[in-house]
Chain A
């Protein structure tokens, strides 16, 4: 290239660079200036203080009919009101939301909800019983992850302000089910205009989900500003919210891995909270931070009860030997301050859990004696588990601890880690002798796990635990839980059932673990709720 041409290129590049810098330095944008100064305002002129929620975003959609992931539940709860809800961390009884009151019929199957006439959607349209019928029927007919929970429910609208929900089986927990994010009520007119349907073939004909990922069609305290599940999801306050206005005008859910969340919270940020700190990540945090949590998950070993699949795990003495061999306190210690040795099955966040004094304990002499009685000898069995970190702990660490404890009693276990997809696929086939996984409740009532774990339930079926193989007294105790209409009776029945399950079931519950909300020092009411939405961002304010 001739020298003059080269000099020309250099000059052009220099001019371009200078122009770029000039543009970057000299331009202005009023909104950005206000944001930088912390004085941004919403469209209606109200203060738009931003609350930042750090989380490893696990959300595929903001459609209540399809949502089931943890972050999705937090978001959908902020976007959609439900008939009833829970107040803060108290999950003992549903309280009014869109329904100002409800009554339960004596048969324990029929529930009548009276809608609050003040309730309006974000576009100002009143919430009617037709919207409720549409939303719940759509939820059922979409055949998504939450559909099995409402499968037995039918919904009627005798008048515009009354909704009748009927369960085909006795189910005193219907109001609790209807408080969950998946039961969020949609503006049916808006939904239909954008491809929504509640018809029986909604699983193939409904086209609403994509619309709902960027536009809220509910009556909740927030609306969607932007949605990017891999980066950030931004909510803005609903200017026409019919209830108490949220304290923060804007909430940014920021995708962030756990280590980063810990570093961020350790700097004591203002108006910020983290949702995924668990296990060892909770240790060493500054004491100025607020921590709120409750044991809402349980970690359980599942042993195949069908001798045709495994003669070892179907041997009751071998199972009892393993149960006695485990150091429950030691397993709990792996979860850091949030871990608790299991007493029964129900985690302590829910009514019906057994007292801590009944926590299981290691008894190696008994384990050795039972192993000898079983006649299994040193036959080994493979322990299948998902090779993931859950609740802040690598599940491989827990599996290795079980293996090592069992070894002390002479029980041979081989570890069999698998990718999560492979683990789920293998386990649902009902041919896995021995497996381990964390478990959460579908909705915040302990009775919800009873039917699943007992013969006839999905988990029991996968474990080969049939009615013929089950202990009659344990089955009767489970039936008593499911038929209880009074919550105090149900708690009592749950205690009896769990005490029987310890000795008469193919499950060994190891430990309970907590989800913990870690909030900056200036926030108030950033409390963990075991209701299903982790934290209610609309409740959070500043000191």
Chain B
């Protein structure tokens, strides 16, 4: 089999094995593992350069914003007292020249110290460790649900192209895309909390419960690990509405890509041949269409996941969800330079890692990419 062979080159019962150009030979597997490892190491090394670039860019952008941290962190009367302003600037190192401030930051960063937040007084690392798990707890179920729904509906729309189901799904996606996220969040809160009374009014846990012991920072997981079922169900109940809102927004984005990717695959000769061979429709869709179409979906899905992980400021604000989005918002509001830099680095890292994951997934889904 040539390296450029397409899945259409043969029509196996289990195409997953035959489209693998190297077969399952141990030597070939070992070679693949080594090349994958080289690929990952190379990507990670590039990451260091990218993160350095992110620190420079974030630092310069924050300096370009009009305003001085002392004006947002001191009262108007205190701002007029030069002694107080000088003490504030000295405390946070703002009295030093900009290059010195940046080099100090970089030096601390290389020693694993992202600095101290001017707003919370905590180390940025401990702040991130507190806020990121809350966002992950939202992002993962929202992403899983989004993928399941958008792949299901996207495939259905593709199979039923130009029929009522297709039109309905496309119209739904368009409406979802045009709906402002904050509006949807408020309306959902109004309906499910105020009118129906089946959802809580925000937050991560009812006030009557104490949060579970901090193990992963995700209340549902920590509640299970510490054997607190009531807290688990309560945390899950609080998770439901923001996850559903995020899911509906993400589905609207993904569904069109899934549909178009599936339409492209459905038109391939090997799919037509599979039908002609008499394979059941579900088998054709699952084994031939879905796997080939997933390559495009992975790119968009990965970026959507990165976006969810980077925090959804408005959703977190409306549902009082103390995630990275809220932290970023407060940091920006207070011109909290170390926190802004910390969030910037985190978001950059998320996108870099998600892109790396996408590249690896490409190879797993489509061996042709791995070979090339």
**A residues lining the B interface (CB < 8 Å):** 1, 20, 23-29, 31-33, 35-36, 38, 40, 50, 52, 60-61, 68, 143-149, 151, 203-204, 209-210, 213, 225-226, 228-232, 234, 252, 254-257, 259-260, 263-264, 266-267, 418-422, 424-426, 428, 442, 452, 458-459, 461-462
Contacts and interface: CB of A to CB of B under 8 A. Distances in A.
Contact of B207 (A50, A146, A419, A425): A50
A27 B75 contact: no
Contact of A257 (B77, B190, B317): B317
16 contacts: A24-B224, A35-B210, A40-B208, A143-B88, A148-B84, A204-B91, A213-B121, A225-B210, A260-B189, A263-B189, A266-B194, A421-B68, A425-B71, A428-B71, A452-B77, A461-B80
Contact of B318 (A31, A50, A228, A259): A259
Interface of B: 16, 65-68, 71-81, 83-84, 87-88, 90-91, 119-122, 130-131, 186, 189-190, 193-194, 197, 201-204, 207-211, 224, 227-233, 317-318, 320, 322, 326-327, 330, 333, 335
A20 B72 contact: no
B207 A260 contact: no
Contacts of B65: 419, 421-422
A384 B66 CA distance: 14
A458 B81 CA distance: 9
Given A230-B327, A231-B320, A254-B207, 9 more contacts: A145-B78, A203-B91, A213-B121, A225-B210, A230-B326, A256-B320, A257-B320, A420-B72, A442-B75
A151 B87 CA distance: 15
Contacts of B80: 148, 428, 458, 461-462
A226 B72 contact: no
Contacts of A38: 208
A422 B335 CA distance: 10
A35 B208 contact: yes
Chain B interface SS verdict (over half):
helix
Nearest to B118: A60
B202 A228 contact: no
B249 to A, nearest CB: 19
A164 to B, nearest CB: 25
A419 B326 CA distance: 18
Nearest to A54: B201
B208 A29 contact: no
Contacts of B121: 60-61, 209-210, 213
A68 B75 contact: yes
Contacts of B81: 143, 147-148, 151
Contacts of A425: 66-68, 71
A183 to B, nearest CB: 15
A38 B209 CA distance: 10
Given A23-B229, A254-B207, A458 B76 contact: yes
Contacts of A426: 66
B318 A257 contact: yes
A424 B78 CA distance: 12
Contacts of A31: 210
B208 A421 contact: no
A225 B122 CA distance: 18
B84 A143 contact: yes
B208 A143 contact: no
A234 B210 CA distance: 9
Contacts of A27: 227-229
Given A263-B194, A425-B67, A147 B84 contact: yes
A36 B189 CA distance: 23
Contacts of B194: 263, 266-267
A32 B209 contact: yes
Given A228-B322, A420-B72, A421-B68, A26 B78 contact: no
